[in-house]
Amino acid sequence: MKILHTSDWHIGKQLYGFKRYPEFKAFLEWLSNTIEEQNIDVLIVAGDIFDTNTPSLQAQELYFEFLARVHHTKCSHVVIIAGNHDSSYVLEAPKTILRTLNIHVVGSATEHIEDEVLLLKDSSNHEFVLAIVCAVPYLRDRDIRNSDAGESQSDKNQKTIEGIQQHYQKVFTFAKNKQVELAKTQALVPIIATGHLFTAGGKTTENDGVRDLYVGNLGHIHADMLKGVADYVALGHLHMPQKVTHSDVMRYCGSPLAMSFGEAEQNKIVCMVELISDLCGISAQVREIAVPKFQKLHSIKGDWSQIEAQISLLKKTKESYWLEVVYEGKEVRGQLHQELLTMVENSNLQILHTKNNQFQNAVLQQGSNTIHLQSLSENDVFNRLLELKKIPAEQIDELKECYEIALQQLTQHN
């Protein structure tokens, strides 16, 4: 049986205000073609299908058009779980209709744990189970933890971790019992687990938009929780493809498109997993399939002469690039953006974002607050406010923790 593992599509995401629908469309067409060419039996999408919990009609159209194409391939089942960016309501609204097409959607933690354990049956023999999938979505704090009056933030964090562990344990126990039951009438059935979470030691990229799902490092789930139960663990949330604790069968496939210029040089992939059953049990062979770059991104840094040289080289390639330019020269260039626009005229290069470090430093030294918010992350803005307000050092850590809690609540609200 062949499984394709993908995640973190973030359909609808913009980059500095530029819409990227042609990229998402090209990726989804490539993915459906790959499913057909590789004779994939099961597709798993491990969360963050959309970039926001109120996706545009265009984003939803791309999603449903893709599902319709997959239905006409040999792929027997599609399993979709919600990520922290997704609305469980949006994903689950067409759940009943999609189930008739063997498209299984789990948008949130369910009241009955068995609803998160899917038995994927052979389309030609409904008595035969191909795989058991522990379809665990992103677990929101409200789903796994009860609040008690007077508890500290550390206590809350610890209860969140314990809640996640207990939830997975219940799902895994139910799946294992089902596997033992099925073994009485057919060969050993493989177990596949999903998750949309941040494992301890996971790697991220600067400005990739990936936040801690829970406040503080306690929100990082130890990988031991996922070991020894499933034959393959398909994870989402981190955009950089990576193995978990060097395990071939516990993986983040990463986002298929670069979600920021910090990801521009990453090789994006999906994971194809072939599950093989023999006398020794079930083994998983994983092959990474490279995702094409449908729109090239490039970050240019340096002084003016270095920037000119790099842009000149890119123009000679005649290829289409979206550019981020970070000026690091000593000379103050107040018209940097306009100068860059003039430089790329009549070429296939497009300037999406400029950052003039020297100009910003000069403005800051004058005590001005005229820096464009577009050039700053929300954390940058908060840190600058702390500096401008001259907050005492002993209060900063507590304020940052409160700020992170507020951000967490905003991202979890849907």
Query: What DSSP string runs through 286-299?
Result: EEEEEPP-SSEEEE
Two tokens at 361? 């430093």
Q: How many other C-beta atoms can be found within 10 angstroms of the C-beta atom of residue 218?
A: 17
Straight-line distance from the first to the last Cα atom of the chain, in angstroms, rounded to the nearest whole number: 36
- The Cα 378–Cα 383 span in angstroms is 9
On whether both 19 and 128 belong to a single domain, the answer is yes
- The Cα 96–Cα 104 span in angstroms is 9
pLDDT the model gives residue 226: 85
Q: How many other C-beta atoms can be found within 10 angstroms of the C-beta atom of residue 311?
A: 21
On whether both 69 and 148 belong to a single domain, the answer is yes
On whether both 72 and 187 belong to a single domain, the answer is yes
Token look-up 């050092």 returns 393
Q: How many other C-beta atoms can be found within 10 angstroms of the C-beta atom of residue 133?
A: 28
On whether both 286 and 301 belong to a single domain, the answer is no
Helix spans in 38-152 (H): 57-71, 88-92, 95-99, 141-144
- Rounded to the nearest 10°, the torsion over CA 211, 171, 229, 86 is -30
pLDDT the model gives residue 414: 44
Q: What does each C-alpha distance from 266 to 12, 42, 95, 179, 377 come to in angstroms?
A: 20, 26, 34, 38, 21
* Contact (Cβ atoms closer than 8 angstroms) between residue 298 and residue 329: no
- The Cα 272–Cα 49 span in angstroms is 19
Averaged pLDDT, groups of 10, the chain, 414 residues long = 97 95 98 97 97 95 98 96 95 94 94 93 87 95 73 74 90 95 92 91 67 48 82 95 93 96 94 87 94 96 95 95 93 86 94 80 51 60 78 73 65 48
The residue among 290, 315, 336 that closes a domain is 290
> Which contiguous run of DSSP H or E holds residue 167?
helix 153-182
- The Cα 68–Cα 73 span in angstroms is 9
* Contact (Cβ atoms closer than 8 angstroms) between residue 164 and residue 197: yes
On whether both 157 and 218 belong to a single domain, the answer is yes
On whether both 254 and 172 belong to a single domain, the answer is yes
On whether both 176 and 317 belong to a single domain, the answer is no
CATH number, domain containing residue 157? 3.60.21.10
Q: What residue type is assigned to position 106 of the chain?
A: V
On whether both 193 and 211 belong to a single domain, the answer is yes
pTM of structure:
0.84
Chain centre to alpha carbon of residue 374: 22
Sort strands 296-302 and 349-356 into parallel, antiparallel or unpaired: unpaired
* Contact (Cβ atoms closer than 8 angstroms) between residue 236 and residue 199: no
pLDDT the model gives residue 250: 94
On whether both 213 and 262 belong to a single domain, the answer is yes
pLDDT the model gives residue 325: 95
**Domain count along the chain:** 2
On whether both 195 and 101 belong to a single domain, the answer is yes
pLDDT the model gives residue 373: 56
Domain that holds residue 355: 297-412
- The Cα 35–Cα 29 span in angstroms is 10
DSSP 8-state assignment for residue 87: -
- The Cα 13–Cα 182 span in angstroms is 43
On whether both 165 and 197 belong to a single domain, the answer is yes
> Which contiguous run of DSSP H or E holds residue 269?
strand 269-278
The residue among 268, 290, 312 that closes a domain is 290
> Which contiguous run of DSSP H or E holds residue 233?
strand 232-236
The residue among 236, 266, 290 that closes a domain is 290
On whether both 200 and 257 belong to a single domain, the answer is yes
